[in-house]
Amino acid sequence: MVWSEIALICVSIVLLLVVIAWVCVALKQKDNAKNNRVDDIYIKDGIRYTKSGEVLDKDGKVKVSLNKGDILLERGKEYKVGEKGDLLAGKYTVLSADENLDSVNIRVGGLVREYKHFSSIVLTEGDTISAVSANVILR
């Protein structure tokens, strides 16, 4: 055998092993995506949605997922309240976007206050709101 033939065989074997490993990883990730689904939750475009409006699951733990009509406040970004603003004035339920946090800090009108998960907040016309400590979902 010539050295070029031996090198070609070795490269072919390595390439075959890489393809097999890639297929195994892809199949494992597909199985994990199916196992991550919780009751009535589906994933669309990388965002988790739930059909029910319940905030807690059957074990009493926080179930964080976006419903249609929910507003996600990104940490550090300021939103204006009003008809021509980002949010409409009204009463909202504050949900922590991080399941491990029981409370979040929110700046409303220049003042920072701590809000517990599943507490209410009333926003009036002309207010500004921003999440200070973590992302927040307003329902």
Question: Helix, strand or coil for residue 29?
Answer: helix
Mean pLDDT of the region 3-18: 92
pLDDT of residue 59: 63
Q: Please report, rounded to a whole number, the percentage of residues in the chain having pLDDT higher than 90.
A: 25
Distances (CA, A) of 77 to 4, 5, 73, 86, 101: 60, 60, 7, 11, 19
Name, in order, each residue with C-beta under 8 angstroms of 59's C-beta and a sequence gap of 6 or more. none
CA-CA distance, 74 to 87, in Å (whole number)? 13
Phi and psi at residue 61, in whole multiples of 5°?
-90, 160
Give the CATH number of domain 41-138.
Answer: 2.60.120
pLDDT at residue number 130 = 94
- Please report, for the chain, the start and end positions of each structural domain, with discontinuous segments joined by +: 1-36, 41-138
pLDDT of residue 90: 84
Residue 88: the pLDDT is 84
**In terms of pLDDT, which residue wins out, 82 or 7?**
7
pLDDT tens string 20-73: 999 988 887 766 545 444 455 555 554 545 555 555 556 655 556 666 678 889
